[in-house]
Chain A
């Protein structure tokens, strides 16, 4: 179906967790605004379909805690909210953030105090308690961790499918295999070249994460986002070894044993590029680190590896808001798109359709902070 000459109120570029969530929250306002979402790949082929599936409220910054508190509440009710009876494979078996140094442990303690002040049921555990909870854990350098029982994981594939179906029910025009070749200002709105078609959009929202700068460049907007490749490992299904999700800030590894028994490891390693293919030396890099963190899984066979690309911003915080070009918005996840997508979708819908600029979180995460220098720093990131 050709889109040539079509006019839409909002064009969203990117059908990942952010793009689809923003579209759904806009559509459910029933303002009559026409919404189109385009994605150059196929269903779940980008970063949202490649992530480690975990979500947590255990952050150090109040805004990150609040974003995830709201999002997790939504995940808990996703089956009803999105009318998706199959559910999104929600698993709330807790999340254990590990510290392998006294300094990291002290950071966790400060963060837990902030979390508890906001009503997050998190707590500190010493090394013995961590090992008791996860007997497969290694004791090398382990000092302790923080734990929250309501954190957990869900299936990103089912989450995206639930959003996609809900969007289409609300008459959102979601198109895969549709590449945006360029966007230019056209009167009060924009013209966008999609494959061979030119369409007009009153407002444009870019949810393409690390690929945003390329599209913004033609509009004269600079955004300090770079790509950060990551690789993941999934094992064959095995008996329960890791009940809560684990994250080790020192190892740069997160671990999630899903309901089917497979264990997923997301391993960060400093490198550049936007290549999603697995790299030849990845397994030799990752395997000793996995065994150091979790000696109990040494004999578990690895089934598959895959690569993904997440976005990295100068302060490792999302960029959410209107750019210096009126009507042009960005939502860059900085590596937490899946777990923050419910709240971000709601906020961006209010910003774009209601011009609601009063949100205390959005006002701190706008793209202009890089000009004013108001950078923010989150201490509990699994980043190489």
Chain B
């Protein structure tokens, strides 16, 4: 009998761990990843010959090194860097573009470990060059070792802004202010979780020390209401959030800066799972529309598994533990509960900490009141909020209906940027709970006709 063939999409912690585990169990394993090197977002590696300095905590650097080494040693794995999976179908066909050709892989099981992207929350001026995702700014630092700005304002919610502010400081940047929407003290409501994540918590406290030591202005419960600048960011306006969740008049302050690094939480990259027919569920602080899966990553689509953040925000530690569980399940391990007892236990420990972290991702709904009629919501199709509001008023409230009415989500990025905001804006403006998301269709990434007609198939 030929070995079972597992295709893993994504080479972050979850994808690497899944591949390692499936390989360990004698499966033929293919890993498909967009980046030039494995690691994903969190364990991103620099492709430069001279590796730039790392500004992360030693604990994180050690975890990254250990997993990357383990992945490198798991051979043979058919690891393909710099390729784009543009479609996954319910029959487990994985369509991948690699340069000027495409290949259709027909494995026995697919593990989707596609991670998350940062939430884009529109506000006046958010498309000004110099306004970046905090994780995006961090990625530049990780991969190139350079600061994407000199005078930096970091804002948002959850732990990432704090981490990014500290790393920017360690790299020699000036952080003008750190504005956090929800106080990190919310984590104190889940003490067990904090205890279980004490190792990570200590890393967090050391980042906080860096920030304190540099004397950075901290603006708790503040939100960016305006980015000012034409061809380049010049300043940002921040306001304090009142008890009603809205910016309080008279509390505005303008800060000169050339980089605004923002993180308002994350959205799961669930498009491929949805395309394959997996049922989705809505988790507001856990990534929005995420594939519903059981403890072993099995979705409602047969043979389609999900692991890590793409199944709902989990963080790198849960992702790695879960990758091992899902990799084993996809490999067809018989007695999962027994065999995976240790990994399941480890995951549940990390999950308790993540639950504490999630509490800090709660966004005040009135954040959406900052959006003005002139604010661009869909950058690809240049759709302003006024057009979207008119669609809501005409009774088109679901993302599919708004898309057909005003075109947001029809452009280059296929809605990856604006879709989340449209769902939240719809709920904020109409009061109707989000009942569905936009239909996921091929292509998850654009591919030329030439590459599509230069296609081969590989079956197990």
Contact = CB atoms under 8 A, between A and B. Distances in A.
Interface residues of B, number: 31
B453 A306 contact: no
Contacts of B398: 42
Interface string B421-460: 0000000000000000000011100111110110100000
A304 B404 contact: no
B414 A45 contact: no
B419 to A, nearest CB: 13
Nearest to B436: A42
Nearest to B381: A260
Contacts of B400: 42, 45
B441 A306 contact: yes
A45 B404 contact: yes
Interface string A278-306: 10100110111011000001111111111
Contacts of B95: 280, 283
Contacts of A299: 448-450
Nearest to A284: B455
A348 interface: no
B interface: dominant SS: loop
B405 interface: yes
A84 interface: no
Contacts, number: 89
Contact of B414 (A278, A290, A303): A303
Interface stretch (A66-74, A96-104, A157-165, A310-318): A157-165
A384 interface: no
A250 B446 CA distance: 27
Contacts of B411: 303
A161 B449 contact: no
A42 B442 contact: no
B449 A302 contact: yes
Interface in B78-107: 87, 89, 91, 93, 95, 104
A304 B395 CA distance: 26
B397 to A, nearest CB: 9
Interface in A306-329: 306
Interface in A124-158: 157
B404 A298 contact: no
B441 A301 contact: no
Contacts of B412: 236, 303
A337 interface: no
A287 B101 CA distance: 12
12 contacts: A42-B398, A42-B400, A43-B396, A43-B401, A45-B404, A284-B455, A287-B450, A299-B449, A302-B447, A303-B412, A303-B446, A305-B442
Interface of A: 42-45, 49, 157, 161, 164-165, 176, 236, 260, 278, 280, 283-284, 286-288, 290-291, 297-306
